[in-house]
Amino acid sequence: MKKFLILFAAISLFATTSCTNDDDNNDQNPIIGEWTLVSVNPTVINPAACTNSSTISVNGDNSMSSNFYLEQNNCDLLTASGSWEDNGNSQYTMNFPQLGEVTGTVNFNSANSFTFTTSTDVVFTFNRQI
């Protein structure tokens, strides 16, 4: 279970956002932004179990950070920071020194929602913070 929580934290970090100073950059990666975790399937954890929302921030400089509140951890805050990379063909890699590297498939349901599917078929759904 602890390994899953670490993987979850890594994925969460992957999904966060930031702003860019380059107003001429129309090719900004759509993953960049602030995201809230809304579901995990299969339901190995319940993001709605804690009062605070778990979030990730994905930045334009390929850094990322996450804030997770996990029921299994008494809803205490778990934070992590690391880096992300767009590998092409909807494949993304997240790397956190304290957690390791995770690669998965990102599918955008809209400009404000995406899923991240890991190699173990765990699907995380995130909504953009507005």
pLDDT, tens digit, 9 for 90 and up, residues 51-92 = 788 899 999 999 999 998 888 888 999 899 999 999 999 999
Domain with 117 in it: 2-20+29-128
Looking at residue 83, which CATH number applies to its domain?
A: 2.40.128.20
More confident residue, 2 or 18: 2
pTM metric for this prediction: 0.76
Separation of alpha carbons 122 and 32, rounded Å: 21
For the segment 79-126, what is each residue's pLDDT rounded down to a tens digit?
Answer: 999 999 999 999 999 887 666 898 999 999 999 999 999 998 989 999
Q: Identify the CA nearest to 60 among candidates 36, 90, 34.
A: 34
Number of structural domains the chain divides into? 1
pLDDT of 130 reads: 83
**Non-local CB neighbours of 23 within 8 Å, separated by 6+ positions:** none
